[in-house]
Chains A and B, each alone.
Chain A
Amino acid sequence: MITVLSHNIISPLGSTTEDNFRSVLRQQTAVRQWHGRFGPVGDFCASLFDDGSGATDGPAGLSRLERLALRSIRAALKGTDVDTASDRTLLVLSTTKGNVEWLADGIHPLERALPDSSARMIATALGVTTAPIVVDNACVSGLAALTTAWRLLMMGRYDRAIVCGVEVQSKFIISGFQSLKAVSPLPCRPFDIDRMGLNLGEAAATIVLGRGDDKEHGWKIVDGCQRNDAYHLSAPSKTGLGARMALTQAVGDYPADDIAFISPHGTATLFNDQMESVAIAGAGLGKVPVAGLKGYYGHTMGACGVMETALSMCAVDNGIVPSTMGFAELGVSGRITVAANAAPTSRKGFVKMLSGFGGCNAAMLLSSNKNAADRATADCHEDGPLQAKHNVHITESTVCIDGKVMPTHAVGRQMLTEIYKGVVGDYPRFYKMDLLSRLGFVATELLLRAEGGVRFVERSDRAVVLVGHSGSVLADMNYLSSISDADDYFPSPERFVYTLPNIVTGEIAIRNKYHGETGFYLLADRNDAFVDDILRSAFCDRGTNSVVGGWIECGSETAFEADLSIFERKADGGGRPAATK
């Protein structure tokens, strides 16, 4: 049994979950107009900390994002039994852009702009001795982080997991969303007929999870699920396919009349809210209240999954369905019940949904009903290396398929183009991809050719799980060059999209029509046992029978590596992941 031990939210609306809930109940919003805060970005509406940080304490050398995360984690740990120094305690950080405002700023080394560096700084400050994981899975990162922590606890690897979601805003992020024409000039209006887009926001939130036998006590994650639209990198599926699949599996047989509300992603972009309405109605949950929080906080990206989950737990504890700030008249086609006003509830469960670039969708059902059964896959606990069915290993100058060298002439980027031309040739999207996506694309093409069989058949039982260190740093630099000169400031939407490392998993999903889970994780360095655990954890989703994934690192044009494999669930293992002892 995995339960929630504690939680905290630090936002411009307050420094505890309870403070934040009271502010929401009073209809206070943190979204307001900002003038010239980020130079050429101009005027915009967002939820930002007034003092620019939200946290000033903590050791020297920490970024404002790291101080903010640290403050939230310390508040959440207070009063718990968590021994941060124990080798049974895990730290999972959910962020999309980390310290990107430090990227190539002439002051900080490149390494300090990588999200993994933030995780290590936070871990050190807390005295955490195990290697932290960063989940960098676009806007679903928060739920993906909670799901990963939940699974690793179930697998018996740890006893306690600290999951922190954090995001701060910068010229980089706001200009990017502006270039995608996704930002509303006014406070956002989720699901409303007059909605014009999203507002961005800053926050940190922490949820501490623990293993225990206490079935009577508190909140538990009943199930968490992620599915991909395999449709488009930035636009959600028109049918809401991925979100509906994730939602349907997360809810499962949990009684709908014990679901207090659905906390949607509800960003207030035209397409997101429309898609979610179709997905919720399609899942048969059109009568369950939909209570969106973006009107209070804006879109806090890597923080929102953890923050909105914590706030929803507090709302249910207080017997309240929160109101959807900014909503007045339904402006979506799916027949859903948006909570315009706060209302009392005696129900004990709720669903959190998220959707993000790269086509990913996530849903999680949590409940404080003591009768709720935790759907933990109990037999996810085997040890030993995973056994790959096929493997492809690519570096900047070598290609190996199932241990056999494939001769190539070119090196680096040109080598990937050479393989594309020689082996694929008919997928011109390849040329639009950044180097990380090209690397992942070419590696999976070779891998799937080695596997043989019929390709391009829609399937939702195969996950794509990638683990690396540098993530999207090359794409980040490429986008930065379109905004760094104030006299030549033209933010490029095509370049911005690739600044999310999980886009490569979206490219692979679109190419292969894979609707299964997709995820991108960042570690300090390549640690095969740890990578294996992350890959193995994907099999805890009972809908996943196969995983394509492994290590992918693309921190430079001239030195990169992809070591990807196909893993299958053991046919006779009673639901066990492929593994050897």
Chain B
Amino acid sequence: MEELMEELKREIISVLNLEEMTPADIDDDAPLFGQGLGLDSIDALELIVLMEKKYGIRLASASEGKDIFKSIRTMAEYVSKNRKK
């Protein structure tokens, strides 16, 4: 799980252009949206693309991603249970 969380942080930094950030700057349990990283609705859609491209997980809508993208930890838990690649 630790390894997956680290990987997710690296992927998020890359696809969302969070230049200047390192995985160590992202807290495992901090909210990704609103406060915390301060991501917005386009970022959420980009995370949906990431889920499909990297892990073969298809999410139909941004609202489906709401609970999954709460934090790095919730994302990692969902990925480990549902990944197809």
Residues of A within 8 A of B (CB): 179-181, 232-235, 428, 431-432, 490-494, 497
- Determine whether the beta carbon of B18 is less than 8 Å from that of A493: no
Q: For the complex, what is the distance from the CA of A180 to the CA of B17, rounded to whole Å?
A: 18
Residues of B within 8 A of A179 (CB): 45, 49
B25-51 vs A, CB cutoff 8 Å, 1 = contact: the mask equals 000000000000010111101101100
- Determine whether the beta carbon of B61 is less than 8 Å from that of A492: no
A234, A428, A431, A491: the one within 8 Å of B42 (CB): A234
B56 → chain A, closest Cβ, in Å? 11
- Determine whether the beta carbon of A492 is less than 8 Å from that of B49: yes
Q: For the complex, what is the distance from the CA of A181 to the CA of B41, rounded to whole Å?
A: 11
Known contacts A181-B61, A181-B62, A232-B40; decide if A494 and B52 are in contact (CB<8 Å): no
- Determine whether the beta carbon of B18 is less than 8 Å from that of A497: no
Residues of B within 8 A of A232 (CB): 40-41
B2 near A: Cβ within 8 Å? no
- Determine whether the beta carbon of A490 is less than 8 Å from that of B45: no
- Determine whether the beta carbon of B20 is less than 8 Å from that of A235: no
Closest 10 CB pairs of A and B: A493-B45, A431-B19, A490-B53, A494-B46, A431-B17, A432-B17, A490-B49, A493-B42, A493-B46, A494-B42
A42 → chain B, closest Cβ, in Å? 13
- Most chain-B Cβ atoms within 10 A of its Cβ — which of A179, A234, A491, A493? A493
Interface of B is mostly: helix
- Residue pairs across A and B with CB atoms within 8 Å: the count is 42
Q: For the complex, what is the distance from the CA of A232 to the CA of B43, rounded to whole Å?
A: 12
- Determine whether the beta carbon of B62 is less than 8 Å from that of A432: no
Known contacts A428-B20, A431-B19, A432-B17; decide if A497 and B42 are in contact (CB<8 Å): yes
Residues of B within 8 A of A428 (CB): 18, 20, 38
A379 → chain B, closest Cβ, in Å? 42
B18 → chain A, closest Cβ, in Å? 7
Interface size on B, residues (CB 8 A): 19
Closest to B45 in A: A493
Q: For the complex, what is the distance from the CA of A508 to the CA of B37, rounded to whole Å?
A: 22
Q: For the complex, what is the distance from the CA of A66 to the CA of B40, rounded to whole Å?
A: 37
Residues of A within 8 A of B52 (CB): 490
A197 → chain B, closest Cβ, in Å? 10
Q: For the complex, what is the distance from the CA of A299 to the CA of B49, rounded to whole Å?
A: 24
A235, A431, A492: the one within 8 Å of B41 (CB): A235
Closest to B59 in A: A181
B20, B38, B46: the one within 8 Å of A492 (CB): B46
B44 → chain A, closest Cβ, in Å? 9
- Determine whether the beta carbon of A494 is less than 8 Å from that of B62: no
28 contacts between A and B (CB under 8 A): A179-B45, A179-B49, A180-B42, A181-B48, A181-B62, A232-B41, A233-B42, A234-B41, A234-B42, A235-B41, A428-B18, A428-B38, A431-B17, A431-B20, A432-B17, A490-B49, A490-B52, A490-B53, A491-B49, A492-B15, A492-B46, A492-B49, A493-B42, A493-B46, A494-B17, A494-B42, A494-B43, A497-B42
Q: For the complex, what is the distance from the CA of A568 to the CA of B62, rounded to whole Å?
A: 43
A543 → chain B, closest Cβ, in Å? 29
Q: For the complex, what is the distance from the CA of A232 to the CA of B40, rounded to whole Å?
A: 9
Besides A180-B45, A494-B16, 9 more A-B contacts (Cβ < 8 Å) are A179-B45, A180-B42, A234-B42, A428-B38, A431-B19, A493-B45, A493-B46, A493-B49, A497-B42
Q: For the complex, what is the distance from the CA of A383 to the CA of B40, rounded to whole Å?
A: 45
- Determine whether the beta carbon of B45 is less than 8 Å from that of A431: no
B34 → chain A, closest Cβ, in Å? 14
Residues of A within 8 A of B41 (CB): 232, 234-235
Q: For the complex, what is the distance from the CA of A492 to the CA of B43, rounded to whole Å?
A: 10
Closest to B49 in A: A490
Closest to B41 in A: A235
Residues of A within 8 A of B40 (CB): 232
Q: For the complex, what is the distance from the CA of A298 to the CA of B62, rounded to whole Å?
A: 23
A310 → chain B, closest Cβ, in Å? 33
- Determine whether the beta carbon of A432 is less than 8 Å from that of B16: yes
B4 → chain A, closest Cβ, in Å? 20
Closest to A434 in B: B17
B58 → chain A, closest Cβ, in Å? 11
Q: For the complex, what is the distance from the CA of A492 to the CA of B14, rounded to whole Å?
A: 13
Residues of B within 8 A of A233 (CB): 42
Residues of B within 8 A of A494 (CB): 15-17, 42-43, 45-46
Q: For the complex, what is the distance from the CA of A181 to the CA of B62, rounded to whole Å?
A: 8
Q: For the complex, what is the distance from the CA of A428 to the CA of B20, rounded to whole Å?
A: 9
A183 → chain B, closest Cβ, in Å? 12
A24 → chain B, closest Cβ, in Å? 32
Closest to A235 in B: B41
Q: For the complex, what is the distance from the CA of A411 to the CA of B70, rounded to whole Å?
A: 39
Closest to B62 in A: A181
Q: For the complex, what is the distance from the CA of A179 to the CA of B49, rounded to whole Å?
A: 8
- Most chain-A Cβ atoms within 10 A of its Cβ — which of B17, B40, B52? B17
